[in-house]
Amino acid sequence: MRSADLLILLPAAWYQLAAFPFAALFHQLCASGQLSPTARYTLLLTGGCLLAVTAMGSYAALLLIPAAASVLVLLSASPAHVHTWVFGLQMCWQTLCHLGLGSLALESGDARPAVALSAIMLLTQKATYLALDVHEGTVLLQTGQGLLQQALPLSSYLLYFPALLGGPLLPFSSFRVQAESLGAVPLPLEAAGWRCLGALALQGLRVGLEGCLPRVQGCSILATLCHAWMRALLFRLAYYTQWVLDEALLEVAGFGLEEGQGDLSGRELWVLETTHRLAVFTRTWNRSTSRWLRRLVFQRCPAQPLLATFAFSAWWHGLRPGHVFGFLCWAVMVEADYRIHPFLSAWATSRVAKLLYRGTTWVFTQLIVAYVLDAVEAESLSALCLLWTSYKSILPLSYGVVLLLLLSRKAKQN
C-alpha cells in the first residue's frame, strides 16, 4: 500500500475507535428523552468539531471554513442556483487543499494533513448531495426561523462526528429524521460488536498477508504479478476494515443504515472478491461514493457519461498525473468490459468453456485492478513512464485494442 493511504486509514481508524464511547453516551442521552432536537444537533456538531481539532490540529480550519461557507450558500442562494454555487465552492477549495497539502502529507510523514484532506473530500460529498436535493426540490429547507435555527441542522449534517472521518453518505432527509428520533430503538451493541469483530478479522488477515508479501518478491513475471496482486488485496482489506468500523460507529450513535446505503456488507465483500466482471467490481466498490458520482455526474452528463464520471473522480481525488491516467485507464477498461463479456459469454456454451471463461476473466479483473492501483500510486510522470513501459501494461493495452476492434466492427455493421 502507498504511504498516503496508510497516513489516512490508520489514524482515522484509531480516532473512529476512540469516538465509540462518545457515540454510545450520545445514544443513551437521546434514549433518556432529555435531549431536544436542537440539543441533539448541537451535540453532533460539537462532537464533530472536537474530533476535527483532535485528529487534524490546526488543519481543522481547512474543514470548518468550507463547511460554514456551504451552509451560508445553502441558506442564501436560490434553489435554481444553489447546486452550482456549492459545487464550485467545494471543488475549488478542495483542489487548493490538494495542491497545498498533498505533497506535504507525503514529505513530512504527518498524518494530520492527509486526514484533513480525506475529511474535506467527504464534506464535498455531503454538501453537493444536499445542494442537489435542494435544487431538485426533494429537500425543503426550514424557513420562518432564526438564522441559527436554520443553520444548525445543516451544519450538524456536514460535520456530525460519526461520519466526519469516514462512513457511508446518508441523505440529509434520512439524517434529519434519525437525528430527531434518536433513542426510539435500543442501542445496537450486538450488531456493532459483530461489525467490530469483522473489522478485527479483516485487519488480522491483512497483517498476515503483509508478512507474506516479501516472500513473493522476485524477478520473474509471475512473481511480480503475484506481488502486485497481493499489494492490491492489502489495499482493499485496509479499506474494508475502515468501512466496517465506520458503519459500526454510525450504528452505535443511532444512525441506522437502510438497504444499499452502506459501503460494505458480507454479500458485497463476496462480490468484490469473486466477480469476473470489472464493471461489477466498479459499481460495488465504495458504494456510497459510487452512488454520489452516479447522481452528480453520470446521470447529468449528456455525452460520454462514463468517461466524464471517471475524469471527475480523478479531479476529486487530487488530479495528480497518476490519478488522471489511473482513472481514465479504469474508464476505458470498464467500457471494454461492457463490450467484451457479451461476446465471450455467447462463445462459452459448454460447462468447461464457461469455467475457463470465468476463471480467466477473474484473473484479468484482479490484475487490472492492481494495475490501476499502481497507476494511481504514481507520484510523478517518471514513475508513470516506468509503469507504461513495463509488461504490466500488456493486459490493459490488450483490452484497449479489443475495445477498438469491437467498436470498429459495430461501426461497420451500422
* 277, three cell numbers: 466482471
> Buried b / exposed e across 336-355, counting CB within 10 Å, b at 16+?
bbebbbeebeeebeeeeeee
Q: Residue 364: helix, strand or coil by DSSP?
A: helix
Query: CA 389, 385, 320 angle in degrees (round to 5)?
Result: 140
* Length in residues, the chain: 414
Distance of alpha carbon 319 from alpha carbon 123, whole angstroms: 18
Q: Which of 317, 337, 331 is nearest to 8 (CA)?
A: 317
- Is the torsion defined by CA of 271, 276, 280, 285 positive or negative? positive
* 377, three cell numbers: 500510486
Please give the positions annotated as active site: 286, 317
Q: Which of 127, 157, 123, 162 is nearest to 255 (CA)?
A: 162
Backbone φ and ψ for 112, nearest 5 degrees, come out as: -65, -45
Cβ contacts of 387 within 8 Å, gap of 6 or more? 371, 374, 375, 378, 393
For residues 269 and 237, is the Cβ–Cβ distance under 8 A?
no
Distance of alpha carbon 72 from alpha carbon 92, whole angstroms: 16
CA 232 to chain centre: 16
* 330, three cell numbers: 479504469
Query: CA 71, 74, 75 angle in degrees (round to 5)?
Result: 90
Distance of alpha carbon 114 from alpha carbon 57, whole angstroms: 12
> Buried b / exposed e across 275-293, counting CB within 10 Å, b at 16+?
bbbbbbbbebbbbbbbbbb
Distance of alpha carbon 334 from alpha carbon 280, whole angstroms: 9
Backbone φ and ψ for 260, nearest 5 degrees, come out as: 90, -5
